[in-house]
Structure formats: structure tokens, C-alpha cells
Amino acid sequence: MRSECIGAARRILCVFPRYTSAFGTWEHAYPLTDGVQAFMPPQGLLLIASYLPEHWPVRFVDENIRSATCEDFEWADAVLVSGMHIQRHQMNEICRRAHAFGLPVAIGGPSVSACPDYYPSFDYLHVGELGDATDELIARIAHDASRPKRQVVVKTVERLPMTNFPVPAYELAEMKKYFLANIQYSSGCPYQCEFCDIPALYGRNPRIKRPEQIIAELDKILECGVISTVYFVDDNFIGNRKAALELLPHLVEWQKRTGYVMRLACEATLNIAKRPEILEKMREAYFVTVFCGIETPDPDALKAMHKDQNMMVPILDGVQTINSYGMEVVSGIIMGLDTDKPDTSNALLEFVAQSRIALLAINLLQALPKTPLWDRLAREKRLILDQDRESNVDFRLPYDEVVDAWRQCMKIAFEPEWLFARYLHQVKYTYRNRIELPASPERRSWANIKRAVIMLRNIFWKVGVRGDYRKVFWKFAFACLRRGDIEGLISSAMIAHHAILYAREAAQGRQNASNYSVRLREAA
Ligand code: SF4
């Protein structure tokens, strides 16, 4: 549904700020693709764009693809911005630019909802999710499109049920220029990991959309020309297991109807390994990757961070179970925990060796506002709000030791030889468990074949001929080609290329040690 505001029509410019380079933004992989320029379209901003009154013209600019121009600002009556903490400086900068044109600027999304005081210059702060605050904001702008005399804060008390969410305005985004398309089925998570702000921001009782809404969104993404991967950005895809089970048959049907041109991926807790009925359906729906916040292989550390759900199955068994359904596990890992010891990095690398997980997002612990961790560290006077540090946590171990251990882990974990050995294991023991895809007309379409050819050409030339790890690459590539696994070759080579280059920069101190850090470095 849309807002029913009947006031004057306003031209709304939605601007999404540039990301700071991070392990999970994959920018080193873009040159190997067929023209990707940014990571994922912003769900929140596209949702608001489609919720605005029907008669309001909307323009959307993702500054990861192009900057908002003077012409954009001159066209607009008001500007909407959204983003995460890591984009804080960029959001404040967009506000400054919009004000130069005398425009009122509103900010919504996760960062302002957790920390309204980060955004003193904005005219409107939208705190919380889509709901009554959104209606109030729209009504205010409809009533008066000039800048208010002082900052107005609107807070959502009554959220719009997710079953009433409109399909995000994917058509406004240049969907083919994104590395991944994305979709949101649920919001919230029942667990309470100490470092995580999801339960406080979105609740512990996951709210969900109807399966028909997801199918409509997938149809629209396909209409926008996307034929790659759709990532379910739900904080925990099995936060509501019953709902996940309800959705999956619809996804299977959709894949059959549309010829399996799309790969699916999601985030879920590791205890998904205890649910064969869910895993089997995910396999059928062609989920190829599950991001699991494993965080640490140390049981004492898991207990301390209240991540008991990771102990419901032995971690290595859990990873293997997920792999046996054709899904690769990507793991989140945190270093700098209070339980870390001087040999923690060795234990971590041993875990990488045993689990054969190819891709790990290794981060230094960062305390986020609205988390139990933040409150505890504040009580213990261990929050250090100094933007020159890699983390705001006063670690138990010496700071330099922790940062060096992180850099060493990144360097070793993503040495080309070791990384491709793990990918080869995935090709042999995970990818082969995937369903055999039909030779559908959609998969054999010219667009699909052309895309694969372009990516192969880029990979062979930029990595296989000009890359400094080409020998290792070719060993892996020939193994894939012998198996006829072109898809595995393309996806692994692209991701590996980013990981290798990013890890080298990290080891040299040229990348942030925490994806949540507000330190700014230029995007690569
Ligand atoms: S399981 Fe994931 S989303 Fe849920 S509280 Fe823990 S870290 Fe956050």
C-alpha cells in the first residue's frame, strides 16, 4: 500500500550515500563483471520511494553509481536520505549539499534510528521503521516544503505491518548495475547476541511479508533485467522457521516458472543445520550461499556473547550439513573479544583449515549503540570514541596486538593458494550437491550467455593473464572446467579476486578492521 496523503504533490529526491570500502562490498570484483558498479540496492529507500503518494514524482540516486547533480537538487522539492553508521559522514555531506539549494532534508534508516544525535543538521529525523512517523513526515512535507525552523523528529510508534508493505521501487534503480539484487522477507530476530543491534531496532518477534509479496518482488526484479543472485537481507532467514517453511515452496515454484535464472542467498543462524526440512527446500529453491554469523569457534566466547544458538550443533558438523545441501557457508568472524587470548588467531586459522570455509568476513569487535555490548562497555568505561582507532572497544589484550593479529589473519586466510584450495573443496564437495538445473530457455537466453561470456573473458584476461596469482587461478579453473562447472568458476573467481586484493590492503593497514567502523577511507 501507499501513503494516502492528499496534500500538494512534491518532487522527492532520494539519495543513497556512497559506501566506505569494506570486505563485503566486493568492489574489486566489479571489473570482472559485465558492468556492475555498486553492491546492493538500498531496500529502505526504495521502499519509502514506493510508499510515497502516487502523484508525487520521485527520483532516486545511488551515489555509489553516480553523484546527485545540481540538476537533481534543482528539480527536487525535498530530499530523503538513508543509510548505516558507516555512511554517516557521507549522509551529513548530502545534507549539506541539499541545504545549499535551500531544500528540506529528511533522514531515515538504521543509523538515525539508533543514533539521532549523529545528524544535527537534518531538518527531519525519521526514527524507526515505516509507519505512523512516515505518514507524519509525508504530511508535513505536503503541507509545507520549506525548511522547518528547527529540527523535527518523528518517531514510529505504530509500524506498518509488513503484509502491507508495497513492492520497493526497484524500477527506479539501475538494477543491472548492482552486484546483488536483494529482497526482505522478515524483520527482527529472536536471539540476543551481545554485540548485535537488530533485536533493539527491529524487535525479537520477527515480522514477515506474505509469500505472494515476495513473489511479486522477485517478478519485478526479473522485469528489471536482473539475472544473477538475489540476497535475502533478513537478519535471520529462519528467525521464524514456520514462515520460512511457508515461503520456500513458493520460491521453488517461482524458480520453476522462471527457468532457474536466479541464484538465491540468505543470512541464517547456524542452527539451520538442525532443520533438514528447511535445508531440503532451500536446495530445491536453489539457495547457493548461507551467511552464518559463526563469530568464533571458541565455545567460551560464544557463551560470553550469548550466542548459544551456535552451540546447538558442533560448528564443523553444522557447516558440513549445510554444504551437503549444496549451500556454501560464508562466515562472519569477530576478533578482539574479551575472551580472546594471544593464540586466538592460530585457533581461528585452524578453524578455517578444518571447516574449509572459503569466505570469511573477519572483523574486529566494534560496539554499536543500542546493544548490550555498548551498555556493558560503557559501564566498564571501555568505550573509546576516537575515530583514529580501528575499533571503539578498549580490548583486554593490547590494542596493537589485536590489530596486528587481525591483519595477519586476513593475510594468511586469503593467500591465493590457500583460498583457491578451499574453493576447490567447495566445488568438489558442496557445489556438486546442488540440484541439476534445467536447460530452460531462460538459462539458454542470449542475455544469460552473453553475460557469462563477458565475465569469463574478464576473468581470464584480468586474472588468468595479467593477475599475479595466475598459476594458482589456472589450477583451479582447469579443475572447474573439467567438471563443467562454469558457474562455480565464475562466482568463485570473482569473489576470490576481491578477497585477495582486499586482504592485501588490510594487511598493509589500508582497510578498516571493522565493517562497522566509522573511520573513512576512500572507496577503492
Ligand atoms: S542471531 Fe544474528 S541477527 Fe540475531 S541477534 Fe544474533 S547476530 Fe543479531
Enter the C-alpha cell of residue 306.
550469548
In ligand 1, which atom is closest to the CA atom of 196? Answer: 8
Task: For residue 239, report the distance from its CA to the centre of ligand 1, in Å.
Answer: 9
Under a CB-based contact definition with an 8 Å cutoff, are residues 302 and 310 in contact?
A: yes
Cα distances from 304 to residues 192, 194, 342, in angstroms, run 12, 8, 18
Q: Select from 521, 196, 205, 461 the least CA-distant residue to 332.
A: 196
- The pLDDT, as a whole number, for residue 515 is 62
CA of 467 to the centre of ligand 1 (A): 38
Per the DSSP assignment, residues forming a β-bridge with 80 are 14, 106
Query: Which residue has the CA at smallest separation from atom 8 of ligand 1?
Result: 196
Grid coordinates belonging to 97 = 549539499
Pocket test of ligand 1: the residue of 234, 236, 241, 303 to mutate, having most ligand atoms within 8 Å of its CB, is 236
Output the pLDDT for position 519.
44
Q: How many A from CA of 99 to the centre of ligand 1?
A: 37
Q: Which of 424, 407, 408, 436 is nearest to 493 (CA)?
A: 424
Q: Rounded to the nearest whole angstrom, what is the distance from the C-alpha of residue 155 to the centroid of ligand 1?
A: 24
Q: What is the pLDDT of residue 488?
A: 94
Contact 107, 132 (CB under 8 A): no
CA of 192 to the centre of ligand 1 (A): 6
pLDDT of residue 385: 83
CA–CA–CA angle 67, 72, 75 (5° rounding): 175
Spatial distance between the Cα atoms of 307 and 299, rounded to a whole number of angstroms: 9
Per-residue pLDDT of the chain (524 residues; tens, 9 = 90+): 788 777 789 999 999 999 888 888 899 999 999 999 999 999 999 999 999 999 999 999 999 999 999 999 999 999 999 999 889 999 999 999 999 999 999 999 999 999 999 999 999 999 999 999 999 999 999 999 999 999 999 999 999 999 999 999 999 999 999 999 999 999 988 999 999 999 998 889 889 999 999 999 999 999 999 999 999 999 899 999 999 999 999 999 999 999 999 999 999 999 999 999 999 999 999 999 999 999 999 999 999 999 998 888 999 999 999 999 999 999 999 999 999 999 999 999 999 999 999 999 999 999 998 899 999 999 999 999 877 788 999 999 999 999 999 999 999 999 999 999 999 999 999 999 999 999 999 999 999 999 999 999 999 999 999 999 999 999 999 999 999 999 999 999 999 999 999 999 999 987 777 665 444 443 32
CA distance 398 to 400: 6
Cα dihedral 163/154/79/166 (nearest 10): 10
Helix, coil or strand: residue 267 = strand
Q: Which atom of ligand 1 is nearest to the CA of 236?
A: 3
How many Cβ atoms are within 10 Å of 373's Cβ, its own excluded?
A: 22
86 touches 22 (CB < 8 A): yes
- SS3 category, 61: strand
Residue 2 confidence (pLDDT): 81
Query: Ligand 1: which atom is nearest the Cα of residue 235?
Result: 3
Among 137, 25, 20, residue whose Cα is nearest residue 81? 137
> Which atom from ligand 1 is nearest to the alpha carbon of 189?
4
> 10 Å Cβ neighbour count for 413?
23
295 alpha carbon, distance to own chain's centre: 16
Yes or no: say if 247 and 211 are a contact pair by the CB < 8 Å rule.
yes
- Tell me the CA–centroid distance for residue 188 and ligand 1, in Å: 9
pLDDT at residue number 521: 41
Ligand 1-lining residues (CB < 6 angstroms): 189, 191-193, 196, 198-199, 235-236, 269, 293
Q: In the structure grid, which three cell numbers stand for residue 498, read together? A: 576481491
* Residue 222 alpha carbon to ligand 1 centre in Å: 30
Considering only CA atoms, which of 109, 168, 116, 171 is closest in space to residue 134? 109
If you take atom 6 of ligand 1, which residue's CA is the nearest one? Answer: 193
Ligand 1 atom closest to residue 267's alpha carbon, by position in its atom list:
2
Instruction: Work out which ligand 1 atom sits closest to the CA atom of 190.
Output: 4
